[in-house]
Amino acid sequence: MSEDGFIQASVSLEDHEVKEFEEGGDRGEKAIMIPAFYNSHTHVGDSIVDEPPKGSIEKIVGPGGLKEEKLSSSTKEELASSISLYLERASYFGVRSLLDFREGGSQGIDPMRTAQGSLDMDLKVGIMARPSKRKYDEEELNKILSKADGLGLSAYRDWDKSQLKMIAEAVKKAGKPLAMHCSEDVREPVEEVLSLGIHHLVHMLEATENDLETCAEEDIPVVICPRANMFFGKMPDIPKMLRSGLDLSLGTDNAMISNSNMFREMETAYRIGMLHGGVSPLDILMMATWNPRKFLKGSCIKDEKDLLLVLEHKEGDPAYRIIKDTSPRDIMDIAAL
């Protein structure tokens, strides 16, 4: 699979590495090869929540909600253990890159680093941290920016505008990306959000068509999380987003709601797209593979050695068969380019 779609080729693999590539070739065992999955938005710390979450978006993931309460009452060791398990499962699902929004300020970064260090796998994690409180604290922010890959903030409406502006200026000065949840539950003023120097936005469910077009014109990518959205009774209008010219990527969002299974995320996105007028399977597959590599590249995951998933061959349109019929059990190999 190339950036433009699928091509036929003969590929020789040795010790999990691509040794030969011949476009147009037709020999040997058949397989489908795609870039390893890139999960563009997670909250892996949420994996510490072990009971089924109930309630509204505000009560579960909003300020003072279930997630914040559980995270604040858990030890670093407990968090690192649950994160390690989550990352192991993500690897099983074929994910080799993910961008994680980390709560808890500077100290919230440590459990992720501990979990990464305990795993024997090639999985790149970009940490988008945030202040422990919703205010500008120069000392804490400097610590965060020295350890994290960027900042990933909660909804614009959660913050005092003057505090948020100072945080954005500090992030810009540090030369790191700033991402934010936007218009997930209610519409938020996109022009004001983008004035902060945003690298990418997450959700945009309640955005107007004009909001979406503004993001497209400003080359601001958007990450959508269909399964988590559906948990709260919402669905992204994927065809409308694509018509607006947005560069879309897929994420699985809160670990207490959705695991990192990108096969399920793609299938859900495709079905939602069909409910809103139709979307091509290839467009959905691109959101989990090539799109984040192109549009989120350099945001957090640096010097990435790209990996390929070698999937069991199925006759028919390969993108559709991957979305409809393929699971982690169909991963035959993971090979380095």
pLDDT in tens, 221-277: 999 999 999 998 999 999 999 999 999 999 999 998 899 999 999 999 999 999 999
Confidence tier at 72 by pLDDT (50, 70, 90)? low
Confidence tier at 30 by pLDDT (50, 70, 90)? confident
- All domains of the chain in start order, with CATH: 1-35+306-337 (no CATH), 37-304 (3.20.20.140)
pLDDT in tens, 95-151: 999 999 998 888 889 888 888 887 777 788 999 999 988 889 999 999 999 999 999
**CA 243/CA 58 separation, integer angstroms:** 30
Q: What is the model's pTM? A: 0.91
Q: How far apart, in Å, do the first and last CA atoms of the chain sit? A: 13
The residue whose two tokens read 């990306």 is 177
Whether residue 305 is predicted with pLDDT greater than 70 in this model: the reply is: no
Residue 220 Cα distances to 55, 201, 213, 250, 336, angstroms: 31, 7, 10, 15, 30
Whether residue 278 is predicted with pLDDT greater than 80 in this model: the reply is: yes
Q: What percent of the chain has pLDDT over 70?
A: 90
DSSP 147: H
**CA 108/CA 271 separation, integer angstroms:** 35
Whether residue 39 is predicted with pLDDT greater than 90 in this model: the reply is: yes
Query: How many CB atoms sit inside 10 A of residue 316's CB?
Result: 9
Phi, psi angle pair for 256, to nearest 5° = -75, -10
Q: Cα torsion at 108, 113, 118, 120 (round to 10°)? A: 140
Residue 209 Cα distances to 199, 203, 243, 272, 297, angstroms: 20, 14, 10, 18, 26
pLDDT in tens, 169-191: 999 999 999 999 999 999 999 99
Mean pLDDT calculated for residue range 41-50? 85
